Structure 1
């Protein structure tokens, strides 16, 4: 490979696209060619900046401009050398074409970084939105629970669960709300949950689920306690059941129901 040919390899060297032998030959060339050395440094700095690119929202016409430019980009012809001389000539032409198309490759890298960055930004925004929703729900539940605990007609009934733990059912017919306050519940396997039920006319109606991540806490029951004779708790498969599949570990009457 001639010295003139070596001058065309700066882009490939900067992006580590040369073979080991070609890289060694070009490294020796850099020791005596200040122009190539400077160009390689600039290309490597550009590649580093691309790797650290900050996420930015693409302009509104970004996709349209990219799609419009695609027909203008020519594909590389197949490399089928018929002879060693032809193969060498094609390799030289390939590296020259590589250097001419380096700006297009940099643009493609920018597009890839932008697409990934936008995807990460969207995912992060989705996670923030979910966290805000959970926080709002927790705040609403805390406010409702506070109102329930001080309601003039609030009733309290405490009981112990079979297998360990205790609970207090707080209900207000006036507010149409009930809560289940629990302490020291035994940990369940991941395949099981505690399910809470209203007893209405001898039928157990689902009123909420408790995981076992927290041994103590409080949860509002789904639905009004009006017309319910009591509250029960069973251990059910993860996700809950429409009807109890195990014997109750707690049955608590609702005074005034």
Structure 2
């Protein structure tokens, strides 16, 4: 209740507000053009990122889930029904928001199983911070027919969230490398999974870069590009 309503657009889009704060923000929204535009932009960002990172779960995952259901005892029905407290409702919304961020970052269940809870939580926080930044800018480029790369960047944070979809796998000796492109020489922004798996990457050091590029380099990356980027994106 102490937060400025202008700071609530991000949590509102992620449905992470308690009922009181949500109603308060919805009363504020019709009279504030800035908040209305920010909320609309965040919805567009989450939708684009979800489309860029979506992937079909493997068939073996269904069998694993069904097997677990078969040997898991179901909880008995409750003896009495109580309405959840405001605190419980708030926590449930925060949990839902965390699940949404995991889905948007393209991790899915199979990726999450291979990361510790602490790592996933840290990544979720970083991704959410970039996506809900007031100056977040989204760009998507198509590559290799069905492939795509999406970059959500924030100059105020100096970071970007990069997701890929259906990039061609590379041999072990090669890697996709990201670059910040600007008035000076290209600067490395790190490497992507050589298998083309759509795992999210939070890249630091945006600085004065105006464009984002991807090249194919030797495994481990290069100090400077060995060839022109096969993909470039405007950073806004």
- Tell me which interval the TM-score lies in, with the shorter structure as reference length: 0.3 to 0.5
Q: Select the structure that is richer in helix.
A: 1
Pick the structure with greater CA Rg.
1
TM-score, normalised by the number of residues in structure 2: 0.48
The TM-score normalised by the length of structure 1 is 0.44
